[in-house]
Amino acid sequence: MRSLRAAAASPAVRLGDVDGNLDRIRDAVRNAAARGARLIVLPELATSGYVFADVDEAMRASLMRDDPRWEDVSSVLPDGAVAVVGYAERDGDRLFNTAAVLTRERRLGDYRKAHLWGGERAIFGVGDAAGAVFDTPVGRVGVAICYDSEFPEVPRRLALAGAEVLALPVNWPQIRRPDGEHPPETIQTMAAARSSRLATVIADRQGAERGVAWTGGTAIIDEDGWIMAVPDADGLAWAELSLRPPGDKSLPPHNDLFADRRPDLYGAI
């Protein structure tokens, strides 16, 4: 086992205020890094906001992968640290709900959301992969976005592909639930973390946007499915995660989570 200090940040996001959002993201990354975090996750569409009126509004709040303003975020990352930031990606005349994976030195890649929720279909194109795994200075980081994680196949697929930790930018709309219960999305993520022994770093929004109240589900979940950290007064959750080597899913003394699988019995799922 090895240790990784991870953080999930939830700065204020203002719809359409790309430059202001990038400033607040940079401040949040700097704050997380000052506490020793080496994996820092920001919410879904953190650079743009979420509740767009139409494609034109989303296009005005979009960024290309080679936009020079990304360097402002990368510049505050310490050597060897990684940030995962949700943004509205412009690619020609198309838009995607995307997460960028950044280090101080370079951009490691981008993941486009594969499962679109509600009105997102009117704005964004669909990605062509169910989550992605990136080799980073902090290990093999799986990335999925919000609704992706509600399909159990996605975190399991990433774990099978060797992800050591899952970065999960989200915008979870608040829904009614019984008093004292966790949000259902949190429960699903806890279960997925445990069933694949895959620690997960969730970065969610706070407050509301155009009448949509956010769940505020930012949390860090360990590989046993327990919540290790929720946000402090600065909107930052951080924790020391214990990570296994890629592919190690042993459950001493008698079991191994992946070796015990019986795909031949599961049928077409």
- Pairing type for strands 82-91 and 39-41 reads parallel
Sign, CA dihedral 22-208-217-128, equals negative
Q: Report the chain's mean pLDDT, rounded to a whole number.
A: 96
CB burial string 80-119: b at 16+ within 10 A, e below = ebbbbbbbbbbeeeebbbbbbbbbbeeebbbbbbbbbbee
The whole-model pTM stands at 0.97
* Residues in a beta bridge with 140: 135
Compute the half-sphere exposure of residue 268: CA atoms within 13 Å on the CB side of its CA. Answer: 0
pLDDT per residue of the chain (269 residues) written in tens, 0 to 9: 899 999 999 999 999 999 999 999 999 999 999 999 999 999 999 999 999 999 999 999 999 999 999 999 999 999 999 999 999 999 999 999 999 999 999 999 999 999 999 999 999 999 999 999 999 999 999 999 999 999 999 999 999 999 999 999 999 999 999 999 999 999 999 999 999 999 999 999 999 999 999 999 999 999 999 999 999 988 899 999 999 888 899 999 999 999 999 999 998 77
The residue ranges of DSSP E strands in 144-235, in sequence order, are 165-169, 199-203, 208-209, 212-213, 219-221, 227-229
* Backbone φ, ψ for residue 168 (5° rounding): -130, 90
Q: Which domain holds residue 143?
A: 2-266
Report angle CA 46, 48, 54 to the nearest 5 degrees: 135
CB 140 within 8 A of CB 40: no
pLDDT for 245: 87
Rg for the chain, CA atoms, rounded:
18
**What is the C-alpha to C-alpha distance for residues 228 and 218, in angstroms, rounded to an integer?**
11
Structure tokens at 205: 């929004």
* Residues in a beta bridge with 82: 39
Structural domains of the chain, count: 1
Tens digits of per-residue pLDDT, 68-108?
999 999 999 999 999 999 999 999 999 999 999 999 999 99
Q: What is the CATH number of the domain that holds 56?
A: 3.60.110.10
Structure tokens at 31: 């704050």
The residue ranges of DSSP E strands in the chain, in sequence order, are 2-9, 39-41, 82-91, 94-102, 107-112, 132-136, 139-143, 165-169, 199-203, 208-209, 212-213, 219-221, 227-229, 236-243, 250-251, 255-256
